[in-house]
Structure 1
Amino acid sequence: MPRQNDIEGAFRAAIKHEPSGRRTLATEDFMRHLALANWDWSLKEANEWIESHVSTFKDITTIEGQARTFMLYNPNGGL
């Protein structure tokens, strides 16, 4: 049975740390980690959760569609 607190853990596990120091998250990776915790979400549901629960990641997707990419940013003025 899926647990509510597994969602945040799946989000954290899906964050990629690039050598440049940039941190990104792909919706598809988030969904993959959710599935490991018995959550079966669509791309749309995963994007909606990110947009409503996470304020420190912005959408940097360059193509149309629900498969999106988010990047960690400093909401106080810097990237």
Structure 2
Amino acid sequence: MARYSDIKGAFVSSIKQDPKKGRIVTTARFVQELVKVNHFWSLQEANEWIEHYQPYFRDYTDHHGDDRCYFMKNMGYVM
């Protein structure tokens, strides 16, 4: 059964370390982690959640589409 409290855990699990940008998360990876906790979101829904609930992550995607890349700004944290 899908629980709202599992969304943040899926987001934290999708964060990876990048040598150039620091901590990054891609929308596709976030959606994959959500499936593991029984949340079936589209890429657009995942982007909306990240933009609304994670203000310390900035979009740095260099292409158009819903599969975006976000990096954590300096001194940011996961909310």
Distance 1:75 1:69, change over 3 A: same
The answer (yes or no) to whether the contact 2:24–2:70 under 8 Å persists in 1 is yes
- For 1:9 and 1:42, the matched residues in 2 are separated by 18
Cross-structure match for 2:56: 56
**Which residue matches 1:29?**
29
Task: Report the Cα offset of residue 17 of structure 1.
Answer: 1.1
> How far apart in 1 are the matches of 2:12 and 2:26?
12
Taking structure 2 as the reference length, the TM-score comes to 0.89
Distance 1:31 1:7 in 2: 10
The letter for the 2-side match of 1:2 is: A
- How many residues are treated as equivalent by the alignment? 76
Q: 1:44 to 1:15 in 2, by over 3 A?
A: same
1:10-49 correspondence runs (5 A): 10-20=10-20, 22-49=22-49
The answer for unaligned runs of 5 or more in structure 1 is none
3-state secondary structure, aligned to 2:70? strand
Runs of 4+ in 1 over 2 A off after TM superposition: 18-21
Larger-gyration structure (1/2): 1
Identity among equivalent pairs (%):
41
Q: What secondary structure does 2:67 align onto? A: coil
RMSD: 1.6
Contact 2:10 / 2:30 at 8 angstroms: preserved in 1?
yes
